[in-house]
Chain A
């Protein structure tokens, strides 16, 4: 049950944070920017300081492409990309081939998160995926186009991103732009473009008038967007899925926008008309407000209090407008701001399923490095687990994205309910105490021994417990809870026994009689910690 009164943040300034910089602030920054920071990353950011940390987080590293690994892929070569390979001619074979590509794509998305490094890239990519919440194509080359586009502009220019997204093959399919023609206008994209992607829907203030736009604007937008379609889907000859412009499909009439857009007229301009229209929409400052609110909800807190609406959102929007819709300056300002580090905002969100899942791995430095097929099958299994818990990357539940990011009043509380909690507990058990994930005889479990060895003073039980709490939990816990964790780690023995056991292990690190008891104690401790309500917050 939520508290009847929640203490709101007290600092509402977007100017740079100047307070104490300890590992508490460093961990908060990293927990919001990454899927799960490691002990080493937290230490590094603590010593580097805020500015250097932000500079590093803003670098989007280059990554490889999804690779062929499943035998159902019959065109591309094992170990090579399939993004430029056609499909088999046989319909059934093409379906199986697509499933193989979907698995490769899903594994690739999970691998990216598991190897995110010290970059905000993966969080930003998920932010945009939730914003442009398209589901996968039935041709994974088109799905790849979509994820590739998002990553290219993850911290780039919002206006550029949406212009390219408008004619992205997967988006054209998803919201029926591909079949939106002069002969048969389809409003689907034109509506979501205004309602969910750019200016947002306000309160209905008249028939078909939603404060920021009207039904007439939707109808006009549908006409403006006509002309673009997709070719090559599931083709056995095309080596890629392409957007093409067909002049015959374009509605050449003059389109009249409503008073919300100063009654502007969009003249027929063929293939560049959509771009002219987007420029007109982006002249409305409300676009900057709309996307600022979404960034705020994603990175800071679900609740837009009156003070946040009056101080933070306008300041973010002003930066965005001054920078002609560049995203990076706004994200930087937000993550550097005094408001971001307000004590009342620490732990204000519930960890999403993918954050919960990958915190177990990323916080402990556990990555998957087996052969390509085994590694990929493990990642696609993690994909499936995320999906089971309500966050299938590539299958958002609706065009509005995941309800945790928009559904009042519960917001991120929606990530957990009775069923999800049970699944989270099973997962934690699975990757700590149980056998782990077995693929081709290889095992994926949390790498507890390397994790332990990387802590500040592994031979000291008190230090181990404090480090574990710092890595996984947003706030200190009660003395009683800490005592429970320590009791589990020590197995009821006095502190010095841990030191002796650890040192015996160090003397013979490959001897199972020494490393297994140590490993098991850490696993038990982590399992207990993963079941604590605190672990589900970030």
Chain B
């Protein structure tokens, strides 16, 4: 598709006087409590970044163990192996433009779910985005997957919303349109916000619902005006009360600008649970890489835009002390075909990787690397291994702590849960072992906690590491007996925040996250 062109360049003239765009962003340093852990999911935020057009997963997360076959399939767009950003895990590397996300990965704040898609992939943008938005394969489904979740929790919406208990919009769609993922039975749960600093005040005026289509519009518009005023003033107040601290945001990066607004609103106390952002331009049928270098071109620009923006946002969350409350993911309607075409592009394909980000990701790489064939086959694409609906269901379970009995009716298949964002849920299920077989209790802790593990008579060193990688505590070093051991950790000196408890032995390094609450 041709790069989008608009007329609006250099059309400053009349627009200068228009009150539509406001640039009164304030950055007032505010003193706030940096850390305030809450066991429940009520203050958790999910950020969704939609990569619109079908992102080329094989040029985003590159399986190095398949590189020789990728040369056969897509030589004209393939990035030289030595230019890729090696993640040093599972033979995976990132596109060279993604330095920001590589740093997030190294900091344990980025995860990759490989080969995500749905059965019988439909290669139309239109239909495929419908499937991803509704979370169902049923072509007659109109509600979004988050909309159905919200309908369960807040039946009757939008009647009597906002109200005293729920003064803020449940979801915010950054930009000018609401998100299909939030379409509920009666209304869309997302509120479109292009700039949270804009003030709202629309004249409220009750139209007559006469029972016809016209009447349904009257009801819709009247309610929208009332809601816009109410939600708008909340958003405006939060934006003005909020703050951002990262210096990494690029004012020319559209997603970075929007994510900064999101950080501003979250830090300002807005109780919105879901933020949805959109990045266009992934339909790279041609000129995915430039004619002069595979390192530049449209896909490289997109990867940089995404990576820089997410890195700035995560940096901001870390600095604001909000990293335990915010998690996010990226998705695209499909990946692209394995073989490139002669226009230095790729055509619509099937499965692709999703990114997860945040402090609370459970593991960094989920799913095996895609297997690339050594011969070019017509229209071949990466087959689906992880169903995107399982990802959605797992996010609801891990992040919003939705009971499985409430999740299952939202989808039409038998859900297979994957541990995606469970790393901060320790306080919820204290005595469960983590994936390394460690149990930390209580967690979150204040003055003292205990580590329980299965020892085999080896020597062990136990350390507590803070978010900057410094060892702040070494409660134990030496040999233990075989069998289940419990070691106490005196934590009263530690400031509130996130820590990693590491258990070193000659055979392995095991780790578990520790939360120190106020």
Whether A425 pairs with B202 at a CB distance below 8 angstroms is yes
Contacts of B448 in A (CB 8 A): none
Contacts of B379 in A (CB 8 A): 187, 215, 219
- Expressed in whole angstroms, the minimum distance between the Cβ of A194 and any Cβ of chain B is 10
Whether B1 pairs with A417 at a CB distance below 8 angstroms is no
Contacts of B209 in A (CB 8 A): 3
Kindly state the separation between the CA atoms of A277 and B200 in the bound complex, as whole angstroms: 54
Query: Is A239's beta carbon under 8 Å from chain B?
Result: no
* 10 new A-B contacts at CB < 8 Å, known A3-B209, A407-B180, A416-B224: A1-B186, A135-B2, A136-B5, A184-B341, A203-B139, A378-B14, A414-B177, A414-B178, A420-B176, A425-B203
Kindly state the separation between the CA atoms of A215 and B379 in the bound complex, as whole angstroms: 10
Those of A359-400 within 8 Å (CB) of chain B: 377-378, 380-381, 383-385, 387-390, 392, 394-395, 398-400
Those of A395-446 within 8 Å (CB) of chain B: 395, 398-400, 403, 406-410, 413-414, 416-423, 425-426, 430, 435, 437-439
> Interface residues of A toward B: which range?
35 or more
Kindly state the separation between the CA atoms of A359 and B222 in the bound complex, as whole angstroms: 21
- Expressed in whole angstroms, the minimum distance between the Cβ of A105 and any Cβ of chain B is 7
Query: Is A131's beta carbon under 8 Å from chain B?
Result: no
- Specify which of A138, A179, A384, A421 is in contact with B286 (CB 8 Å cutoff): A179
Classify the interface of chain B: helix, strand, loop or mixed. loop
- Expressed in whole angstroms, the minimum distance between the Cβ of B198 and any Cβ of chain A is 7
Query: Is B386's beta carbon under 8 Å from chain A?
Result: no
Query: Is A174's beta carbon under 8 Å from chain B?
Result: yes
Whether B224 pairs with A422 at a CB distance below 8 angstroms is no
Those of B1-49 within 8 Å (CB) of chain A: 1-11, 13-15, 17-20
- Expressed in whole angstroms, the minimum distance between the Cβ of B151 and any Cβ of chain A is 13
The 6 closest A-B pairs by CB, nearest first: A184-B342, A347-B214, A533-B221, A418-B228, A348-B213, A533-B207
Whether B220 pairs with A413 at a CB distance below 8 angstroms is yes
Kindly state the separation between the CA atoms of A345 and B10 in the bound complex, as whole angstroms: 42
Whether A99 pairs with B9 at a CB distance below 8 angstroms is yes
Those of B112-152 within 8 Å (CB) of chain A: 120, 122-127, 139, 142
Contacts of A430 in B (CB 8 A): 18-19
- Expressed in whole angstroms, the minimum distance between the Cβ of A344 and any Cβ of chain B is 5
Query: Is A74's beta carbon under 8 Å from chain B?
Result: no
Mask, A168-211, CB within 8 Å of B = 1, is 00000111100101011111100100011000010110010010
Whether B14 pairs with A437 at a CB distance below 8 angstroms is yes
Given contacts A175-B1, A176-B286, A344-B213, contact A191 B123 (CB under 8 A): yes
Kindly state the separation between the CA atoms of A475 and B225 in the bound complex, as whole angstroms: 20
Whether A423 pairs with B214 at a CB distance below 8 angstroms is no
Query: Is A137's beta carbon under 8 Å from chain B?
Result: yes
Contacts of A347 in B (CB 8 A): 212-214, 217
Contacts of A2 in B (CB 8 A): 186-187, 216, 219-220
Kindly state the separation between the CA atoms of A399 and B217 in the bound complex, as whole angstroms: 27
Contacts of A137 in B (CB 8 A): 2, 5
Whether B208 pairs with A477 at a CB distance below 8 angstroms is yes
CB-based nearest B residue for A393: B7
- Expressed in whole angstroms, the minimum distance between the Cβ of B187 and any Cβ of chain A is 6
Query: Is A478's beta carbon under 8 Å from chain B?
Result: yes
Whether A390 pairs with B2 at a CB distance below 8 angstroms is no
Contacts of B221 in A (CB 8 A): 350, 416, 421, 533, 536
Kindly state the separation between the CA atoms of A417 and B189 in the bound complex, as whole angstroms: 11
Contacts of A381 in B (CB 8 A): 11, 13-15
Whether B219 pairs with A3 at a CB distance below 8 angstroms is yes
Kindly state the separation between the CA atoms of A478 and B207 in the bound complex, as whole angstroms: 9
CB-based nearest A residue for B169: A418
Query: Is B231's beta carbon under 8 Å from chain A?
Result: yes
Given contacts A1-B158, A135-B5, A422-B202, contact A176 B343 (CB under 8 A): yes
Those of A470-527 within 8 Å (CB) of chain B: 474-475, 477-478, 481
Kindly state the separation between the CA atoms of A185 and B285 in the bound complex, as whole angstroms: 11
Kindly state the separation between the CA atoms of A72 and B7 in the bound complex, as whole angstroms: 14
Query: Is B345's beta carbon under 8 Å from chain A?
Result: yes
Kindly state the separation between the CA atoms of A129 and B81 in the bound complex, as whole angstroms: 44
Output the residue of B14, B20, B348 with the most chain A CB within 10 A: B14
| A–B complex contacts, Cβ < 8 Å, 10 sampled | A7-B212, A99-B9, A179-B341, A207-B120, A219-B379, A390-B177, A395-B6, A438-B14, A474-B214, A478-B208
Query: Is A466's beta carbon under 8 Å from chain B?
Result: no
Those of B23-77 within 8 Å (CB) of chain A: 52
Whether B285 pairs with A188 at a CB distance below 8 angstroms is yes
- Expressed in whole angstroms, the minimum distance between the Cβ of A467 and any Cβ of chain B is 21
Whether A348 pairs with B120 at a CB distance below 8 angstroms is no
- Expressed in whole angstroms, the minimum distance between the Cβ of B356 and any Cβ of chain A is 26
Kindly state the separation between the CA atoms of A510 and B415 in the bound complex, as whole angstroms: 76
Query: Is B188's beta carbon under 8 Å from chain A?
Result: yes
- Expressed in whole angstroms, the minimum distance between the Cβ of A21 and any Cβ of chain B is 21
- Expressed in whole angstroms, the minimum distance between the Cβ of B161 and any Cβ of chain A is 10
Query: Is A301's beta carbon under 8 Å from chain B?
Result: yes
Whether A138 pairs with B3 at a CB distance below 8 angstroms is yes
- Specify which of B2, B52, B343 is in contact with A184 (CB 8 Å cutoff): B343
Whether B142 pairs with A135 at a CB distance below 8 angstroms is no
Contacts of A63 in B (CB 8 A): none
Kindly state the separation between the CA atoms of A239 and B183 in the bound complex, as whole angstroms: 49
Kindly state the separation between the CA atoms of A497 and B342 in the bound complex, as whole angstroms: 76
Kindly state the separation between the CA atoms of A343 and B210 in the bound complex, as whole angstroms: 11
Query: Is A62's beta carbon under 8 Å from chain B?
Result: no
Kindly state the separation between the CA atoms of A414 and B187 in the bound complex, as whole angstroms: 11
- Expressed in whole angstroms, the minimum distance between the Cβ of A504 and any Cβ of chain B is 31
